[in-house]
Amino acid sequence: MNFQYTQLQEFIQQVFLSIGCSEEDALLASQVLISADLRGVDSHGIARLSGYVRLYDNGRLNPKPIIKIIHETPSTAVIDGDKGLGLVVAPKAMEIAMEKADKVGSGWISVQNSNHFGIAGYHAMKALHKDMIGWAMTNAAPLVTPTFSKEKLLGTNPIAVAVPAAENPPFVADFATTAVAYGKMEILQRKGAPAPLGWVQDKDGNPTDDANAVKNGGALLPLGGDREHGSHKGYGLGAIVDIFSGVLSGANFGPWVPPFATAGFMSAGEQVGKGTGHFLGAMRIDGFRPADEFKADMDKWINRFKAAPAVEGKNVIIPGDPERELEAERKANGINLLEPVVNDLNALATRFGIKF
């Protein structure tokens, strides 16, 4: 079923208002969530809305958080998100990172006591309009096995880096450190489709194409899939995100990160810190060289990569281009939602008395 993005964003906003969020926070959260659908990251968009409501229902989400700095230096800070929506906590933390970068060249914020923050790229891209390079990462619930392990110890732990150019659109790399984000598995589950080999393993550590493998005791695999294809590198990247987001901030880390309302898991279980952790950064380009010179060189970099000979029927991709092109297409032609997602949204509409 096809919907205009403005319709969906308004509905998201009304749901967040219904659970007690302020007008400002509900608007911000709706912008972050719909940005995922617009950019083609359907696993992290409106399909996740009912999950945030379940967090609220289970007492794990504070709709009116008091977000505060609990430790800081001129260029760094730790923020306590007060169990708020990560969709709200992370953008506000990024604003603080940019304020610090304005003053001293760069700003680095580690966040504790938060929740799922949507797509990492949204937060990194906030720095672009200030001629800054933006960084965003977050840890997540343990659905991922380290290389050679049968135990789930890490999350999908995404990394995003946004870099401005002059004439070209910005370079925006936004990726999970796993072979695939769990939300992609949820999409396959809704479709009743198998998973490509290399995405998951079963409870005994064997490769499988079962899209429900994680629910049945299996695990997602690190980027690379197996050791022969470089899974140790994906494992290393995921571990770095976990340490920066969780260990550095005082949030939970590793197997103790509380689950989002997904994969059939809801209980937060044992804790070693506070909530979910994020790490955000902003770097002033003119802290290194004149911004205009840098952006002109980024144009040269992008143009040269685009000019590379490509295999037949393909183009060389600059990170961020597919998402930007899809955003333009979906703003013009609407967003298609799967029937199970529409059913979830209709249930929310009935519960809160909101028109959908």
pLDDT value of position 129: 94
Query: Which of these, 316, 318, 297, lies nearest to 308 by C-alpha position?
Result: 316
pLDDT value of position 270: 77
What does the angle CA 227 – CA 118 – CA 52 come to, to the nearest 5 degrees? Answer: 115
- Tell me which long-range contacts 320-324 makes (C-beta under 8 A, separation of at least 24): 320/121, 320/162, 320/169, 320/170, 320/171, 320/172, 320/173, 320/174, 321/169, 322/40, 323/39, 323/40, 323/41, 323/121, 323/172, 323/174, 324/39, 324/169, 324/172
pLDDT value of position 43: 86
Distance (Å) of CA 320 to CA 64, 95, 326: 33, 22, 10
Say how far apart CA 228 and CA 82 lie, in whole Å: 42
- Residues 89 and 60 sit within 8 Å (Cβ to Cβ): no
What pTM, to 2 d.p., does this model score? 0.94
pLDDT value of position 265: 52
Residues of the chain with pLDDT under 50: 263
